[in-house]
Amino acid sequence: MIPDFSAKSSSGQNVRLSDLKGKKVILYFYPKDNTPGCTLEGIDFNRLLPEFQKLNTVVFGISRDSISSHCKFRDKFGFKFELLSDEDESLCRLFDVIKEKNMYGKKVMGIERSTFVIGEDQTLRAEFRKVKADGHAEEMLKFIRSLE
């Protein structure tokens, strides 16, 4: 069972995991708004959103960016799913996605692109770590279909 959590979303509402009981939930963690890989991943999830919805699945993108940044990112690309702000890294710690990365020769701590699928009963069904942005949303759709 995933511990209940709450996070601010790009709609201005708080999203609480316990309120989503009875639905499958995709939480995809990404490093930063408006970067090439994160944009590609978001566009792909958005394009496939109607398919996820048919399968009783909600999608949330999560990064350490602020709600203001998320709103600009969402509006720029027309995302129809919520982006969750994890500025205090509480969700990042819960799902252990903060890892040491090498950026231009410097060691930095950042989000490792990872996705978690939570079942209708709020148990972790699968985790995908070190994912590649390109094609990832399609892989998640195939996985969700395999749960049916």
**Known catalytic membership, residue 38:** yes
Q: How many beta carbons lie within 10 A of that of residue 88, not counting itself? A: 10
Q: Which of 15, 38, 97, 111 is catalytic?
A: 38
Q: Side chain identity at 77, as an amino acid letter?
A: F
Name the nearest CA neighbour of 129 among 93, 90, 97: 97
| Cα torsion angle, 8, 9, 14, 16, sign | negative
CA separation (Å) from 126 to 91, 129, 140?
Answer: 16, 10, 10
| Cα torsion angle, 58, 64, 68, 74, sign | negative
Catalytic residue positions? 38
